[in-house]
Structure 1
């Protein structure tokens, strides 16, 4: 009995020890799991904290970008050279930029709530109201022009471009000041009217000029022809009865009538230069200059003149009018230099300001450069040269050259000849090589 009782005691003791051991073992494992779990949770918290910091950084960057964009938009909106306004359906102003406020002549802070129609002139208000209704009835942009009276009671004309917002509660307006353009259009319209009137006056003047030319060509030539014919008839019928003085008078009458006839031809040519149509063609100026030289030599074989004409000078212009230019310029050189011994007349081309300039040069007496600005005026004659003329030739040259888009000028030195230059607006070619 005692032995069994002892065994039971020992068994209880062993059981209690085993339970203590199991409890001890269980506590150690639980504690071990708690540390691992805490470490995992701490790691997750650290990762989450880093994620939050990164998100905060991105949010701050996004906020800065939005603020910069908003600042740029505000600057563009406020300082744009075009007036921007927002109106509701009743035309009340909800927002405006600085240019819009300036156009209306009122501080921007005082515009909110005011009706835009207040600034529209009375005669334009019905049209503006209809325009505003059209804007809200349409989904597209509408354009109109109205006159405004700003706060300073100054009238301006603006072009309005408007479009309704998506909600159709408001519309946005762009105002462009077109007052200067309108004034320019009126000025242009007035100029066009003046031009039309002057064109009509010019047509009338041309008709009168045609009548004058007809009168000169027929009514003046007829008495000249009669004078010349009767003076010749008198000389033939009464030749043996006339003394030397009478014959001299008759000769002067004949020569005077011939000079008058030549003057009439010159005047008709001069008057027709401004009216004749220009036909642009390729013109061989060298060949035409040689033709003029040949005619002059045949007409005045007693003059010992050497012509130096460059070959291959070709230009674009009206053949007939350019022939008149060469006839006058080379003819003038012949008149002034032809009577000199070893006279030389040269025709060529050079470069002036990078463009071809054609010239006729002679070694005649030249002229005073103080008279250069008068050379190309009608009826101007070079004094002191002893050469007769009507004073029309160079004026005719100037008109022809000007009609070709060019210019003509002359340079000279006393007793060292003169050179006449002219350019043409349409150049076809230079000297052939």
Structure 2
């Protein structure tokens, strides 16, 4: 049976904006208050999806959240019509209002953690939405994320869905941005690598001092239990607190893996030699596990953050070669572009580099890897997926037309308080759920 890894990219929502909400995310903070272009952002994302589809990869679309989130504003005491709620919140609590307008669901690497059927005890693909408790604006996402994932992966014979972990920082879960699966082939049992920032119940352990560690060991262990993973096929590694304090808010800003390749920076992990030895032992010797370490002398942590060298996608092309899907910022950096050019000549499976313009996402703090959620599956499991969310020429055309019809060209901070934007967004999302055959996944559709 044929097995492969599909990428499901987040579709940028109609209220895409730069609010600088993510403490610890250097790019997000540096672009706060700048005007954004929702139309351009959505089209850049769609172009990347179509490009990967054209490379022969299985590519899907994950719908955005509804924003502004007036339901949360009502829970926080704002009353009246939707327009009145928006007006009051924008005037009386502008920081809260900006949070409920966040565009962050576009980064679907944080949507959930997924374990393929080859790894799980019951032979199903398992999904656990991330609770994202560390940031208020992201903690609003998991319920709707769960509904969207269930609408995409409906068949209970093949897919198992879990409720997100308890909404508490002790079980802070940032999803697949801190999870990598290494395997000899997509259809064979792999090693699931969970990366965490801190120990929730042991304050004596190392932790960052400047920026928060968003993901806990205890959350990793809980997801592994929910997914029925064998202890011999799981490795837990702690992210280096020093790099978190430099702006590496998720592991996928400092490391990325695919099949038998782990591509990471020298400073990525604590106790790296011990943990990499464990990883090598559990992975085995056939095929060789390629541990590609980038030295400080080759690319600094600061340059890796600036260019998102590690927030790239490492994908296996239909011919078997691996390629790195990188933002154009990597090509514009002398150090990073030289490193990547040399990497393709080394004795590793990575032989191609493809650059794409995702600047609207980059300015808000997310590169190519942030935009996608990976699902390894069989051909049979692919057939059980809601086929309307899988990218093809017709869907690409239709979604671009949908963006042209519903999205604004520019949004400033002041525009977020325009009640008309909520109506435009709901109209767009109602149309989108019909295009993608998702049903009524949004709260406004259920009233």
TM class by shorter chain equals under 0.3
TM value normalised by structure 2: 0.20
- Between structure 1 and structure 2, the one with the greater Rg is 1
TM value normalised by structure 1: 0.21
Which structure shows the bigger proportion of residues in helix conformation? 1
- Larger RCO (CA under 8 A, 6+ residues apart): 2
